[in-house]
Amino acid sequence: MPVHPPRPTGPALNALRAFEAAARLGGFSKAAEELCVTSGAVAQQVKGLEDWAGADLFERQPQGVVLNDLGRQVLPLAERAFDQLAATVQEIRAVASPNRLHIAALPAVAQLWLSPRLPAIRRALPDLVISVTAMEQAPNLGRDPFDLTLFLGDPEDGQVVATDEILPVCAPDVAGRVMQVADLAQLPCLSDSSWSQDWAVWLQARAGAETPQLRGPVFSLYALAVQEAVNGAGVLMGHQCLIEQDLKAGRLVSPFPQAVPTGKALVLTARKPVRPPLARLIAALSESRL
């Protein structure tokens, strides 16, 4: 009679994914953040993989985990495997739905730069379905299901859409109270928690040794800080490429028009290869004007 012995079972895919992320990023906490799970879940998955292999892949230390010799040997294999898996998934998506494109953008960029341009882009490219996800960190286009990203970063990281320059801005009725840099000390100076050094950078370039001591509320959403400046709550250190619509409309004005470069830029990075629908979207974004 036929015999059907049970086949040997391999490790769970999630366990391999947890190992690869932890090994590549250098710890369970960072892997958990990328995989949107808890660090305990990552640790459990890695332990399950080690139990299956019959050998440890990490050295457990008081300050965290470190790859051992076996882990360092396995990591490149796991990276190539997941890169290939991601490429296969993206190829299926691109062929099955070539006109569906997904943008990942910094929240401030999505709200203040991209959103005002979307109506014109939809009119110019009516056959494309464009989705937008706002996120604080740029995703890995080799792994994550996005076609292009828009973030403030190093100009060398991709195609520069706009340079990043900062200058103080406020509502017109507030501007009359700011005649010189020293007057800023008498007004609320708004700032964004992610760009906490903006005021110091501009003041050092503009005021030098005469930098006044500033005070004011801090916001975790730059778009909210911009709206509060429009509402007359104080003076905001504005990123010019993000507030151009408010400047042109006169909702914000700059009492000191000398902008200071931050050394960063609004950078567009696209998935490779760039297929025709994505190329059309990139061209529309690059040429868009308010």
CATH (residue range 13-93): 1.10.10.10
Residue 117 pLDDT greater than 90, yes or no? yes
Q: Are 102 and 279 in contact (CB under 8 A)?
A: no
Residue ranges per structural domain of the chain = 13-93, 99-157+268-287, 162-265
Query: What is the CA 40 to chain-centroid distance, rounded?
Result: 25
Query: What is the identity of the amino acid at 91?
Result: E
Q: C-alpha distances in angstroms, 288 versus 115, 119, 124, 160, 174?
A: 12, 11, 11, 13, 31
Q: Is 161 helix (H, G, I), strand (E, B) or coil?
A: strand
Residue 250 pLDDT greater than 90, yes or no? yes
pLDDT mean over 125-141: 95
Same fold, 99-157+268-287 and 162-265: yes
pTM over 0.95: no
Q: Are 143 and 238 in contact (CB under 8 A)?
A: no
Residue 7 pLDDT greater than 90, yes or no? no
Q: What percent of the chain has pLDDT over 70?
A: 98
Instruction: State which H helix or E strand residue 56 sits in.
Output: none
Residue 155: what pLDDT?
93
Strands 148-153 and 260-270: antiparallel
Q: Cis (ω within 30 of 0) for the bond into 273?
A: yes
Residue 211: what pLDDT?
67
pLDDT mean over 195-223: 86
What span, in angstroms and rounded, lies between the C-alpha atoms of 222 and 241? Answer: 13
In DSSP notation, 40-60 reads HHHHHHHHHHHHHHTS-SEEE
Residue 210: what pLDDT?
62
Name which CATH class applies to 162-265: alpha beta
Look up tokens 């991209």; give the residue. Answer: 114
CATH (residue range 99-157+268-287): 3.40.190.10
pLDDT mean over 68-80: 96
For residue 65, the 8-state DSSP code is E
Look up tokens 């939809």; give the residue. Answer: 122
Q: Encode pLDDT of 49-63 as tens digits.
A: 999 999 999 999 988
Residue 1: what pLDDT?
57
| Torsion 174-176-182-186 (CA) sign | negative
